[in-house]
Each structure stands twice: as structure tokens, then as C-alpha cells.
Amino acid sequence: MTQENLRIKNPSVTLYAFHLRSEMTLEVVADAPHLWEKLRHIGEFFAMPDFQYFTDKMICYQNGQYDPDGEQGQPTYFLELIQPAGLLSFSSGLEDNLKLGASIYPLRLHDTYAVDLTFFLQNQVVDVNQLSRFNPQGCLMPNHIQASLGQTLLLSVEPIGNEIADQDLADECVNALLQETHQPSPPLSREGRLFGSPIFEYELIPKLYAPHPNELTHILVWLGKHEEVSELVEKANLWLINLLNCRHKILFAYHQACQSNNSARQIYNALEAKTQELKQLPEAPAERLKFLELLLNQTSHDTFEYARHLRNLSDHRTTIKTNTSNYAKWLEHLRDLSLKTDDLTFLEDFHEQICRHHHQQLGIDQDYLKPAHQLFSQMTATILGMVHIGEQKQQISRDQKFQFLITFIGAAVGAGAISATVIQNPPDLIHLVSQLFESAQLPIIELPQWLSLFPGLSNDILKVIFHLMVGGVASLVFTPLISFISRLFTRNK
């Protein structure tokens, strides 16, 4: 039986989308209104021009602009953002005398914005392929909505006289819904029963490890006459919204945790390579110190980032643990409403398998990364100590050289002063220098002729030069001895 021959009644599709509104470090994230702005344009695909103005009725919008202050002073664990009505309804006419209805129910669940956006054909019988009208050009798909925490589509239809297995009908419904998306239909992952009717879960997961939640296609197809259990459905919808919110938060936290884990492992490899560089330090003190200072800057930054990723990993694991507990709570509420013939294993499996796996895997990642943090912190401290010692040695060397210079100058001046006192009439220095140059067969310096230009100063200058030379020679002899005695005295002291 083809899609053209399959008939269904009262079809509806509900978009449950979840977007982060605030986080620990930010009261309101930068793209908090992203979900509402995306949904405003949905009406363009359904010929509902009034739909784009639904935000004017929301308490977090003022004069057409997002204003989260309107939410202050109200409980946020389950806050209806359209007050007092709670939801808004719209409609438009389609071809074939079909009338499409729509309703939007925006909420805030603690730190998350959530929406129940439903399109339906009430009391109408259509071919299965008409389900594409609920998703024109794939406008309800994750790549279009881009809710930060992800989304779920719930497709509800009532089979009428079709000689086809329930799963086959569900498959055809999914294919029809995705007819204009140009993407493969997600495979069936689980099935069960809810309020006496079969329900099928489909998931399309990219071939990536822990993909972003808004890249996941998650569809539930529920077959049956739901008007007979409308009161249960209405009550269960509140539990289902909260349960799906926890589900997508868990997947989002795991995605973020895997990113932190990957980043930490990259830093781990980089720091591990740095430990090998410590074994190959330059021999020259100046180059050694320069190399250590560069290494210290790199390891300090990397060690800090490593610690930050470890902290994030712990926070994400806590988020998963908390939402796993909340998921179990909402699932228990659904069990309390369910019928004896129901089978909720399709929801229980996520709690028992996915949640447990994610929590355990992050524990393994933490156990692997934590010991290295202490090692890298110690390595940074070691490099810091080596840099400090190198700088101290350089400072001591500079101090010694400066002390030697001061001692030399002092000794030279002192010796020169003594020489000036003892030797009143120094020998003829010009004559002595000329004789030395003659004996060495060197060109004679024209110093006497030059000094003759300053007859009043030549003799005084020569005396100063002579006494300084005497002091310099004496300081060369006594300065090292004085420096040695000074250092010896300092050490003994």
C-alpha cells in the first residue's frame, strides 16, 4: 500500500523545543531570545501572518523587544510566558478545503525556555502524504529551529481502515513528514504503548561522537484515537514537556563534557611534551633562563586551562546526574497516569541506558585526567622555582660585578690619592713614553707638541694621569683580594 492509499484522521505535529535561557555565569545568555525569534517566522510557511506577533503577548517582550525583566518576581520552575491565557491559537485555510489550526505554548523551566508548538487538522481525513504540509521546506527541523538544547517532534495520527502494520504506518508517516527536507528518514530506535496506543521512537544521529543536540532528529509517532483519553493526554503533556527537557539537557551536557574532555586531552599531550623539554635545557645560563621563562608562560596558561576543563567536566557530570534524577521523577508521573496495558520502556531505556552510560563515561574521563593535573601543577611549580633560582644567580652575578667595579674605582682613587701625597714630583711621563715608543720602534706620539698648546695645564694633567695609573695598578692587585675577603666574611656571617 502506497502513501497515496493510506488514510489518516486528526493528524497533528507538536514541536517541543528547548533553548538555554541562563547559566551559572550569566543571568541571561546572549542568544536567550533566539528560539522566539526563530518561531516568529514559522507563520510565513503556513500562511499565518498573525503568528509572527505572538511575542507581543509574552511577558518577556516589551514594545516588540526582548525584555527578560518581565519574568522577575515569578516562580521559574514552570512559568507560562503568555499570561493569563497560557497559549495562543491561530488558523489558516489550505487547499482542498482543509483548515490548518495551530497553537503555541511558551514556557520557562528554571534556566530553560521551552515551547509546545502544535499544528493540526481537526476532524479531517487526509492522505498520509499530506503530512508534508506540517513541515513545509523542513521548517520544523533542528537545522532550522536551532534550539540550543535540542528538540523533539511528536506526530499524532489516527489510522482508519488501513490494512497495514502499525510500524509500517509509522514509517510512512515519518517519510511523509520529512518529504521536503531532503534528508534521510531516521531509523526506528524503540517502541512502546502510551494510553493504550502504540508509539514509535525514531532518531537520526550524525556519525559523530556526542553530536550537538540541535543536530539530532528525534521523532515520536503516536497512533490511536486520542480523543478518548484527552484528559489524560492534557495532563500528561506537562509531564512530557518536563521529561523531554531533562532528556535534552542530559544530551547537551554530555556534548559539552565531551568537548571539555577532548580539549583537556589535547592540553594533556602538549604538557606531556613540555615535561620532555625540561630534560633538554640549554647549558648557557642566559639562554637557559630565557627558555625556562618561555616554558613557564606556556605551562602556566595550559595548566590553568586544563584545570578549567576539569572543572567543567565535573559541572557537566553534575548536570547529568541532576537531570537524570528529574527525568526519573517525571517518568514516574507518567507511569502513574498510564494504563495497565501501556509499555513505557521506550522512555525507561533512555534513563537506564543512556543516562547511566553518560554519567559513568564522564567518571572514567575524570579519573583519567585528574592525576595529571597534580603532575602538571607540580611541573609549573618546578619551572617557577628554576626561573627564580636562575634570576637570583643572575642578580648575584650582576651584584658581584658592580661590587668589583666600585671596589676597583675606590681602590684606584684611594691609591691615586696616596700616590699624590707621597710622590710630589712624578717623573717626566712624556719623555718616558717617547723612550718606550722609540725602543719598540713605534711611531712617536705627538703628545708633547699637543700638550704644548696648553702650557698651563699640561703638567697638572700629566700628574693626574700618573697618579691614576699608579692607583689603577694598585687596585688591580688589591681589588680581587678585597672582594674575596668580603665574600668570605659574608658567607661566614
The mean per-residue pLDDT over the stretch 79-97 comes to 88
The mean per-residue pLDDT over the stretch 140-164 comes to 92
Q: What is the pLDDT of residues 203-212, one digit of tens each?
A: 987 766 778 8
The mean per-residue pLDDT over the stretch 291-310 comes to 74
User: What per-residue confidence (pLDDT) applies to 469?
Assistant: 57
User: What per-residue confidence (pLDDT) applies to 47?
Assistant: 86
Whole-number Å distance between alpha carbons of 191 and 196: 13
Cβ count near 358 (within 10 Å): 23
Cis-peptide into 206, omega within 30 deg: no
Contact 285, 393 (CB under 8 A): yes
The mean per-residue pLDDT over the stretch 402-424 comes to 56
User: What per-residue confidence (pLDDT) applies to 101?
Assistant: 94
User: What per-residue confidence (pLDDT) applies to 457?
Assistant: 46
Of 48-57, 248-257, 381-390, which range is least confident?
381-390
Q: Count CA within 13 A, CB hemisphere, residue 307.
A: 11
User: What per-residue confidence (pLDDT) applies to 445?
Assistant: 47
Question: Pseudo-torsion of CA 293, 295, 297, 299, nearest 10°?
Answer: -150
User: What per-residue confidence (pLDDT) applies to 413?
Assistant: 57
Q: Count CA within 13 A, CB hemisphere, residue 338.
A: 21
Mean pLDDT score of the chain: 80
Tell me whether strands 188-194 and 150-159 are parallel, antiparallel or unpaired.
Answer: unpaired
The continuous run of DSSP H or E covering 414 comes out as helix 356-422
Q: What is the pLDDT of residues 469-489, one digit of tens each?
A: 555 555 555 556 555 555 555
Residue 71 has pLDDT above 70, yes or no: yes
Whole-number Å distance between alpha carbons of 387 and 288: 9
Of 15-29, 178-192, 205-219, 348-362, which range is least confident?
205-219
pLDDT > 70 fraction of the chain, expressed in percent and rounded: 68
Of 334, 270, 261, which is closest to residue 301 (Cα–Cα)? Answer: 270
Of 364, 346, 358, which is closest to residue 321 (Cα–Cα)? Answer: 358
Q: What is the pLDDT of residues 359-382, one digit of tens each?
A: 999 999 988 887 765 656 666 666
Contact 106, 58 (CB under 8 A): yes
Of 101-105, 106-110, 135-139, 418-422, which range is least confident?
418-422
The mean per-residue pLDDT over the stretch 12-28 comes to 91
User: What per-residue confidence (pLDDT) applies to 344?
Assistant: 96
Q: What are the grid coordinates assigned to 338, written together?
A: 498510564
Of 35-49, 173-187, 341-355, 411-425, which range is least confident?
411-425
DSSP state string for 89-124: EEEEE-GGG-EEEEEEEEEEETTEEEEEEEEE-TT-
User: What per-residue confidence (pLDDT) applies to 397?
Assistant: 55
* Domain residue ranges of the chain, discontinuous segments joined by +: 3-224, 256-395, 423-492
Of 3-7, 137-141, 157-161, 345-349, which range is least confident?
3-7
What single-letter amino acid sits at 339?
A: L
Of 100-109, 112-121, 226-235, which range is least confident?
226-235
CA distances from 357 to 208, 259, 317, 354, 362 (A): 17, 17, 11, 5, 9
Model confidence at 318, in pLDDT bands (50, 70, 90)?
Answer: very high
Model confidence at 300, in pLDDT bands (50, 70, 90)?
Answer: low
